[in-house]
């Protein structure tokens, strides 16, 4: 049996635009159901969702029911969290709060086996199909995609050097944290923030890397795509659930 190939990475490097959904519900049932909708990728958040690494594995197993690629955000740019997410079978990682090229290099190194990096070696993990694959160690390094998340003004100032780090495949903008760092906490729609978001996609592309971003509704998602973002999460699952529930309740209570 061959080791799994990273479809997200191959499609991203081929220049495809990839539509995603951000998952924070921490529910295997929701993960499985949403994997069947047709999104190109699903983001599994362990930074701001109540998901530890033990709970991540059932989410990834459930989402394997559908064709969407899994992207995992470790809680921090930490070599142990990264190693454990990879062992669980994540092939694409979104690394939060990268502010320097050095931090980006550390993130990439944490995802690679020696001699390219420092990832620890385990034989029977979900990543290698529990050791049943014949070629896991030969192909693993090349099948990992690293997306670094830029979410502060300081990181923006070093955007080009961060994006240029070998092994960084994409640069993802976190609008909420970036807005906060710019003095617009809770206001991603502020003109100054939107203007930076508009310019940043082109800067990332100029370095030859794929720009990505999180939107919380399809209107914003389309605008970001039009600005050049190549992988865009168009909503958060929890937000969709609440919006649907609120709309249903409002409809039910309409005067007959």
Ligand X SMILES: O=C(O)C(=O)C[C@H](O)[C@@H](O)CO
| Distance separating alpha carbons of residues 230 and 161, to the nearest angstrom | 20
Which 111-140 positions form the footprint of ligand X (CB under 6 A)?
none
Cα Rg for the chain, rounded, in angstroms? 18
| Distance separating alpha carbons of residues 38 and 230, to the nearest angstrom | 17
C-beta closer to ligand X: residue 127 or 162: 162
188: left (phi over 0), alpha (psi -120 to 50) or beta: alpha
Least Å from the CB of residue 74 to ligand X: 12
C-beta closer to ligand X: residue 87 or 177: 177
| Distance separating alpha carbons of residues 103 and 109, to the nearest angstrom | 10
Per CB under 6 A, 200 contacts ligand X: no
Which 33-72 positions form the footprint of ligand X (CB under 6 A)?
45, 48
C-beta closer to ligand X: residue 22 or 44: 22
DSSP 8-state assignment for residue 17: -
Q: Give the residue, chosen from 6, 24, 31, 35, that forms a contact with ligand X under the rule CB under 6 A.
A: 24
Residue whose C-beta lies closest to ligand X: 174
Residue 138 sits at φ, ψ, to 5 deg, of: -70, -35
Least Å from the CB of residue 174 to ligand X: 3
Which 173-192 positions form the footprint of ligand X (CB under 6 A)?
174-177
Least Å from the CB of residue 248 to ligand X: 23
Count of Cβ atoms closer than 10 Å to residue 126 Cβ: 16
Q: What is the DSSP string of 101-147?
A: HHHHHHHHHHHS-TTT--PPP-SSSGGGTTTT-SSHHHHHHHH-EEE
C-beta closer to ligand X: residue 127 or 215: 215
CB 194 within 8 A of CB 219: no
Q: Which of 10, 48, 222, 243 is catalytic?
A: 48
C-beta closer to ligand X: residue 95 or 140: 95
Q: Whose CA is closest to 162, among 224, 221, 207, 219?
A: 207
Sign of CA dihedral 234, 92, 143, 110: positive
Per CB under 6 A, 236 contacts ligand X: yes
Least Å from the CB of residue 169 to ligand X: 18
Least Å from the CB of residue 162 to ligand X: 16
Residues 147-176, mask of contacts with ligand X (x by CB under 6 A):
----x----------------------xxx
- The site that binds ligand X (CB under 6 A) totals a number of residues, namely 11
Q: Is 110 exposed, middle or buried (0-12, 13-18, 19+ CB in 10 A)?
A: buried
Active site includes 48?
yes
Least Å from the CB of residue 25 to ligand X: 11
Q: Which residues are catalytic?
A: 48
Residues in contact with ligand X by the rule CB under 6 A? 22, 24, 45, 48, 151, 174-177, 214, 236
């Amino acid at each position: 049996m061959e080791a799994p190939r990273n479809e997200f990475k191959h499609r991203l490097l081929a220049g495809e635009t990839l539509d995603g959904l951000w998952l924070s519900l921490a529910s295997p049932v929701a993960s499985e159901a949403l994997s069947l909708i047709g999104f190109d990728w699903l983001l599994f958040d362990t930074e701001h969702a109540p998901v530890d690494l033990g709970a991540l594995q059932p989410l990834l197993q459930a989402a394997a029911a559908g064709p969407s690629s899994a992207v995992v955000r470790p809680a921090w740019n930490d070599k142990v969290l990264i190693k454990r997410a990879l062992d669980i079978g994540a092939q694409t990682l979104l690394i939060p709060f990268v502010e320097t090229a050095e931090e980006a290099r550390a993130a990439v190194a944490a995802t690679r086996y020696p001699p390219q990096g420092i990832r620890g070696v385990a034989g029977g993990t979900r990543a290698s199909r529990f050791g049943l694959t014949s070629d896991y160690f030969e192909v693993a390094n090349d099948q990992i995609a690293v997306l670094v998340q830029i979410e502060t003004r300081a990181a923006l100032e070093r955007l080009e050097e961060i994006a240029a780090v070998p092994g960084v495949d994409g640069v993802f903008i976190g609008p909420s944290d970036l807005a906060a760092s710019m003095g617009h906490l809770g206001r991603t729609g502020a003109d100054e923030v939107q203007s930076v978001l508009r310019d940043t996609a082109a800067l990332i592309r100029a370095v030859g890397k794929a720009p990505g971003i999180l939107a919380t509704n399809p209107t914003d998602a389309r605008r970001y795509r039009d600005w050049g973002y190549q992988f865009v999460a168009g909503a958060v699952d929890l937000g969709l659930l609440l919006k649907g529930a609120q709309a249903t309740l409002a409809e039910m209570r309409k005067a007959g």
